[in-house]
Structure 1
Amino acid sequence: MTVFHTTVLSIGPEAELFKEEKMVILFGKDAPESLADYCYNIEVHPTSGEIEAGQTLVIGDQSYQITSVGNVVRSNLEKLGHITIKFDGSTTPELPGTLYVEEKAMPELTIGTQVKIQ
């Protein structure tokens, strides 16, 4: 069952700066000007259930097991389309708006890339 689904609409010119830190920042089209350059802008959609460790994040054709979920990830996705995805395998969420996934090669995000949580 897909809990969340979106599409990358645009990419800020500085969005890839966070690759070294194994992070991707998603934000809806209403990202504040001070953050927009650092984000992958997405369509904002409601979720259809809880987002939990053990589920799968799919970006394009790559899948990542979710290892932990900050306590505001779901509400931030629904209201702002804003979360950070950290590819480090953390099992304890250090930041409330961060979705942590298994540590493996990060995906290439381009305009039109599909992002799902299932």
Structure 2
Amino acid sequence: MILKYKTSVDRVGDYATTFLEEKMLILFGKDAPAELEEYCVSIVMNDVQGSIKVGDILQLKDREYRITAIGDAVENNLATLGHITLKFDSSALPELPGTLYLEDQPISQLDTGDEIKIYER
């Protein structure tokens, strides 16, 4: 396993789960705008190690999701803002630059302290 990114959940906004119906979670680092903070999963800022690729695995808690598509801005946004959208719909083509597309599976509920990892097997 080659670890490319690892962070932990700092806080889950009161309305962050409202996007689960749309199969989405929004991640943001410590500098989320106040008007978005309650809709985001706040994460600890960390660097991305290497390139994230289709076929890599994103792990939320103990559940794994295969990455199916990657928006052009995902790596930069993750490293500089901690801000990306996770979309669990198995899309093969990235529609939005800041979105990481993952296989369509039930989404793990996140709590403060939970880990999020991206790795290559």
Q: Does TM-score exceed 0.5, indicating one fold?
A: yes
Secondary structure in structure 1 of the residue aligned to 2:18: helix
In structure 2, stretches of 5+ residues that fail to align are none
Using the size of structure 2 for normalisation, the TM-score is: 0.96
Q: CA deviation at 1:23?
A: 0.1
Secondary structure in structure 1 of the residue aligned to 2:79: helix
Correspondence for 1:44: 45
Q: Aligned partners of 1:98, 1:16: CA distance in 2, in Å?
A: 17
Report runs of 4+ in structure 1 exceeding 4 Å deviation. none
Using the size of structure 1 for normalisation, the TM-score is: 0.99
Secondary structure in structure 1 of the residue aligned to 2:92: coil
Query: C-alpha offsets along residues 94-113 of structure 1, whole Å, 9 cap, x if unaligned?
Result: 00000000001111111111
Alignment length (residue pairs): 118
Q: Aligned partners of 1:117, 1:89: CA distance in 2, in Å?
A: 17
In structure 1, stretches of 5+ residues that fail to align are none
Q: Aligned partners of 1:90, 1:52: CA distance in 2, in Å?
A: 14
Correspondence for 1:80: 81
Correspondence for 1:17: 18
Correspondence for 1:69: 70
Query: Percent identical across equivalent pairs?
Result: 47
Q: Aligned partners of 1:29, 1:48: CA distance in 2, in Å?
A: 20
The one-letter amino acid of 1:96's match is: P
Correspondence for 1:108: 109
